[in-house]
Amino acid sequence: MFEKVLIANRGEIAVRVLRACKEMGIQTVAIYSSADKNAMHVKLADESVCIGPASSLKSYLNIPAIISACEVSGADAVHPGYGFLSENFGFVEKLEAHNIKFIGPKSEHIKMMGDKILAKESARNLGLPTIPGSSGEIKNAKEAITVANELGYPVIIKASSGGGGRGMVKVFRKEDMDESLKKASTEAEKSFNDGRVYIEKYLQNPKHIEIQIIGDEYNNIVHLGERDCSMQRRNQKLIEETPSVVIDDDKRNEICNLTINSLKTMGYCNAGTVEYLYENGNFYFMEMNTRLQVEHPVSEEIYNFDLVKEQINVAAKYKLSSDQKKLKRNGHSIECRINAEDPNTFTPSPGLIKNYHAPSGPGVRVDSNCYSGLEISPYYDSLIAKLIVYDIDRNSCIQRLKRALDEFVIDGIKTTIPFFQEIITQKDFLNGSYDINWLEKYKEAN
Ligand code: ADP
């Protein structure tokens, strides 16, 4: 087993990984920017190394500084969390060159799935159902119009290196194609330094359903069922739950087995999530995240399985601790992403947390880096806490979520707590009939 793990991240996920390491008896090294010197992950780690100023580019994305921090501290492995360098294959290759283990998949799989055009082609070759669309990169409006005519409008232009919903433009008619293509490509170039885009059919009312998997280095892979992440704003997830009300046992077995078999063919190891859109009973591969995801705790809750510890175990070349038969699903779990944002406009609301009280009691888990007196800095993602509740069924889980949200106190900054309190009382949420566009329509009408 590893002796010392460096956590190349910040915020709630750095704290989450730290906790797993501590429970496994592994020493921890935190890295931090000068804006984060009072952060919770720094306070909890055995050692910490400042790796640069506030700007992410100069700190949490600064590969030479992070490698130096590993060498100075003597860390033998790195957990990347999510975001930042978690899907950067160049980082993985550099760590390998320095004999430091990356707690995640192989660099070739990160590279393949990080390029959405290549990922889609690979998924198709592996036998996964994909969304109808262009066979690769779209170079000009003429080509785009030909493809769109074949698919039928509306279509969606997507960035090959896309993430966080950027570089994505819907097109409803031929006349808008030229301008939309320029917009998507410029945004992609600006955000990802890669202007390549592709086109696919725009599905009108799908659900976002994703499958959590984890594999070891001996080609054993298990799944932890599905997550329904359809409650989204601007293509970004806000509430995640498992199981999904629209997936029955047969559907679940079908898509999970198909997913696992494809990944076994690839020789995939460590944690990953395959994201699908689900419409009229059909799944369509969208992308694969070759890392731990923000919403992993809901799967952990219903399978009673620690994904982070398992990531560390398999990276240290142990076999998976469980096989599929032993993994039993129980109850229901829902996560709300508590962001430091105005609950109506979702504009960031950094500042000082004057008073912080997290809910607790049966079935309530809060993954957070907050405490009273912490200054939420404007430099990073606005996610400050994840409220995860568990109960025996969906109805009791929602009741528990309601009481936990009511108990949550974060004074001094605005948060999305009031937004969740409102949404979870809506009829459509209560009966599970919401798709990826529901929230946008709800916001327009209210
Ligand atoms: P990103 O990596 O930027 O998050 P994804 O490919 O995961 O991009 O898509 C994010 C979200 O965009 C999806 O959850 C879905 O809401 C929407 N989306 C993507 N592709 C389509 C499509 N073909 N039709 C309808 N919605 C889509």
Q: What is the pLDDT of residues 11-31, one digit of tens each?
A: 999 999 999 999 999 999 999
Average pLDDT over residues 352-369: 98
The string of pLDDT tens digits covering residues 279-292 is 999 999 999 999 99
Q: Is the CB of 420 under 6 A from ligand 1?
A: no
Interacting residues of 10 by C-beta distance below 8 A, sequence separation 6+: 32, 33, 36, 39, 41, 60, 369, 380
Which of 196, 252, 291, 365 is catalytic? The answer is 291
Which residue's CA is minimally distant from atom 11 of ligand 1?
Answer: 235
CA 407 / ligand 1 centre spacing (Å)? 34
Q: What is the DSSP string of 264-328?
A: HHHT--EEEEEEEEEETTEEEEEEEE-S--TTHHHHHHHHT--HHHHHHHHHTTPPPS--GGG--
Which residues on adjacent β-strands are paired with residue 260?
Answer: none
Say what the pLDDT of residue 79 is: 98
Quickly count: other Cβ atoms within 10 Å of residue 138's Cβ. Answer: 27
Q: Measured in angstroms, how far is the CA atom of residue 165 from the centroid of ligand 1? A: 7
Mutate to test the pocket of ligand 1, among 277, 291, 439, 441 (most ligand atoms within 8 A of CB): 277
State if residue 287 touches ligand 1 by the CB under 6 angstroms criterion: yes
Say yes or no: CB of residue 132 within 6 Å of ligand 1. no
Q: What residue's CA is closest to ligand 1, atom 21? A: 202
pTM of the model: 0.96
Q: Is 293 in the pocket of ligand 1 (CB under 6 A)?
A: no
Q: In this predicted model, what pLDDT tens digit does every residue of 129-188 receive, in sequence order?
A: 999 999 999 999 999 999 999 999 999 999 999 887 789 999 999 999 999 999 999 999
Tokens of 443: 């916001």
| CA 63 – ligand 1 centroid, Å | 29
Q: How far apart are CA 174 and CA 289, in angstroms?
A: 32
Mean predicted confidence (pLDDT) in 60-72? 97
Q: What is the pLDDT of residues 234-246, one digit of tens each?
A: 888 999 999 999 9
Mean pLDDT of 93-117: 97
Active site residue 166: no
Which among 315, 326, 123 has a CA at the least distance from the CA of 224? 326
pLDDT of residue 279: 96
Q: What is the CA(275)–ligand 1 centre distance, in A?
A: 9
Residues 302-317 pLDDT 10s: 999 999 999 999 999 9
Residue 129: Cβ within 10 Å count: 14
Q: Tell the residue nearest (CA) to atom 13 of ligand 1.
A: 235
**Ligand 1 within 6 A of CB of 203:** yes
pLDDT given for residue 162 in this prediction: 87
Q: How many CA atoms lie within 13 A of 266 on its CB side?
A: 31
Find the 135 Cα to ligand 1 centroid distance in Å: 18
In the predicted structure, residue 118 carries a pLDDT above the cut 90: yes
Torsion angle of alpha carbons 375, 9, 58, 342, nearest 10°?
-40
